[in-house]
Structures are given as C-alpha cells and as structure tokens.
Amino acid sequence: MLPQHLTLFDPFEHMRFGRQICFLCGTNITEDQEVTVFPEWLMEEYAFAEKALRLLDQSVVQFKDLKIPCCRRCQEQYLQPLEEQVQEAQKKGVAGLRALDEKLLFQWMGKMFYGTLITELIREQDPLIKPEYAVSEQPKMLLKFQAFFKVLQSLRVPMVFPDFIPSSIFVVDVDASAEPERFEYRDELSTMMFSLRMDNTLIICCLLDNGMIKQAMRRVWTEVEPRQLQPIQAAEFSARVFYAGYLLNVIPDYLLRTVKPQDEYVVMDSLIDDVTNVIFNPWQNSSYAKLLSMAWANWGISQEQILQNPQEPLSMLFTPQGEFIEFPQIPEQEK
C-alpha cells in the first residue's frame, strides 16, 4: 500500500463530485468544510466579494459564495501556505509574481479555475438545474479536465515534472492607472484559459498546454515582457493568447511513474501526441479579428477596422515592420 500523501485521487473516474467530498484528496467531509474559490485575501484587497458572477446555467452568484468542498487538512497544510506565498509575492507587484516559482502560480491559478469548474459539475448533479451546456456531457472536455487534475494535485502530493511545466503563464505589466476597475477576471472552460488583472499586474494563462503557447509566442513575449503595456496593448496581447488557446489542437496527458512505498515524491511524465497531430490549427485573420474586436470593445474598434488590410490585422503592439509601438495611437471610433 502506498502512503496516502503519494496516492492520487481521480474524481473523474466515477464522477465523484459533491459537497461531502474534499475536492483535493477525496476524503469524505461534512458540508461545513469548504473554501472559497477565490482567496479571501484577494477578494478583500480588491473588494469583489459581493460582485456577481454568472455561471453556465445562467444563475448568478456572488464571488464570496462560490465555494468548494475542502477538508481541514488540505486547507491548512496545502492551500493556506500557498496563499501566503502568493499574497506575499503579490505585494511586490509584477516583479514579485514573476519571481515566484511558476509551478506555484500554476497551482494558484489552477485552483481557482478548477474551483469554478467543479462548482458547475456539482450543480449539474442537481436534477432541477439543467444548464444549456452541461460540462459533464462533454466527454472530450472531461478527459482534458481529468488530465489537468492529475497535475493540479501537485497542490497536495509532492510531485516532480521532469521536463515540462503544465501551463503557459504570462505575467504582464500594464499601465492601469486610468482603468475604472482595479480587478478583472476572465475564464474560459473549454480552452482552459484564465486571466486575472490586479492593478498593474495582468496574469494570463493557459492551464493545460505544457507551455506550448508560450513557446509559440516567444518572439512576441520577448518584446512584451520587459515593457509596461498600455491597456489597449494588454487587451491585444491577451486576445492573442486566448486565440492561441482556440488553435491549440493537442491535449497533453500525464502518466505517473511507478511509486515505491519509500518514495518521498511522485514523478509525472507527460505525453503529447504531436506526431500524428498538428499542434496548432492554422491562424485565421478573420476569426482572430473577431476575438480582438471583443477584446477592444471598450475602445469601440470594429472587426472591419481591424481588417482594413485583410492580410495584416490592426495591431497596437507592433508596426507592420514588426517594431514595438511605444506610444499607440488609438484609432477613432466609427460613427
């Protein structure tokens, strides 16, 4: 028998989601053992606890009421220490969060994403709630979430990733001094994209791509990373990452190496079928422009304006010659 702290829990095997099951270790618990999906300190700092969040079944909840079942042991031993580390780093802004071990940032973002996801899954088990788009009825998505949870368990199980990191994470510096909100959040279950902005720090991440998006975007990222972006530029960068998430065509899977009882940690290997599969579907300017126009909705820039030159979508980050734009000129709104 393996020690419990080295044993992985697979809630997807028999769809074991419920108010009496710890999301992280699978222990049976009483319903009062739960944690908020968004950390208390973050909700307090950015005053969004009472703000509304729309779920897939169209019901609206307040952020503070979004909670997941979690046993006391997992709360005290695994989640709290992580929150303390991230909170400490967050005080130092962009530099602090960039200095943090990427694995921790993955776990921190991952827990919020997963928390939102299992809230949907638990609700779907209620026969009175019939969402239009039931996650539990999407076999391909469930496989993806199952793979994701294997690596997210590094929150609890000491786990080594020998030659990869499960996600692509970008910590972007943005000049948000004139922005109306201090905090922004966005997630997309199907592509596993998640982004948060806390004042000047924007974190965008694809939670399950083994860093492939970051690799594909390295040229752009080299230019963006050392600079402070204007909000319109940050929105474009974010649109590029989200679009890459749509194009991503492979799903990493993970395989546990054999664990021996005396081991102190487990080793997770990754498998990517990139021999028979294309990693990214081809980039299409028209679909990218559609996504970018949504990201630029605040500036009222339409899809047509973006595609004035159909071969070269409008950019606030780079000139057609590929040079970084230090002072972007925001186009006039169409009447």
**DSSP for 262-326?**
T-SSEEEEEE--TTTS-SBPPP-HHHHHHHHHHHTGGGT--HHHHTSSTTS---SSB-TTS-B-S
Q: Least Å distance between CB 79 and Zn ion?
A: 9
Give the three-state DSSP class for 223: helix
Q: Least Å distance between CB 194 and Zn ion?
A: 23
Q: Least Å distance between CB 201 and Zn ion?
A: 30
Q: Least Å distance between CB 21 and Zn ion?
A: 9
Q: List, in sequence order, the alpha helices (H) in 17-58.
A: 40-45
Q: Which tokens go with 39? A: 């950390």
Q: Least Å distance between CB 33 and Zn ion?
A: 8
Reported as type and span, the H/E element at residue 206 is: strand 201-206
Q: Indicate the residue among 29 and 189 with the shorter CB distance to Zn ion.
A: 29
Q: Indicate the residue among 21 and 241 with the shorter CB distance to Zn ion.
A: 21
Reported as type and span, the H/E element at residue 126 is: none
Q: Least Å distance between CB 70 and Zn ion?
A: 6
Reported as type and span, the H/E element at residue 185 is: strand 183-188
Q: Indicate the residue among 26 and 131 with the shorter CB distance to Zn ion.
A: 26
Q: Indicate the residue among 43 and 155 with the shorter CB distance to Zn ion.
A: 155
Q: Least Å distance between CB 108 and Zn ion?
A: 17
Q: Least Å distance between CB 75 and Zn ion?
A: 8
Give the three-state DSSP class for 228: strand
Q: What is the DSSP letter of 38?
A: S
Q: Indicate the residue among 20 and 298 with the shorter CB distance to Zn ion.
A: 20
Give the three-state DSSP class for 67: strand
- CA separation, residue 285 to residues 172, 194, 202, 306 (Å): 24, 23, 25, 10
Q: Indicate the residue among 27 and 285 with the shorter CB distance to Zn ion.
A: 27
Q: Indicate the residue among 71 and 239 with the shorter CB distance to Zn ion.
A: 71
Q: List, in sequence order, the alpha helices (H) in the chain.
A: 40-45, 72-74, 80-91, 93-99, 102-124, 139-152, 212-216, 218-224, 231-247, 285-295, 303-306
- CA separation, residue 29 to residues 68, 74, 222 (Å): 12, 11, 47
Residue 289 makes CB contacts below 8 A (sequence gap 6+) with 303, 306, 307, 313
Q: Least Å distance between CB 114 and Zn ion?
A: 14
Residues interacting with Zn ion, by CB under 5 A?
22, 24-25, 27, 71, 74
Q: Indicate the residue among 154 and 168 with the shorter CB distance to Zn ion.
A: 154
Q: Indicate the residue among 24 and 35 with the shorter CB distance to Zn ion.
A: 24
Alpha-carbon span 327 to 305, nearest angstrom: 19
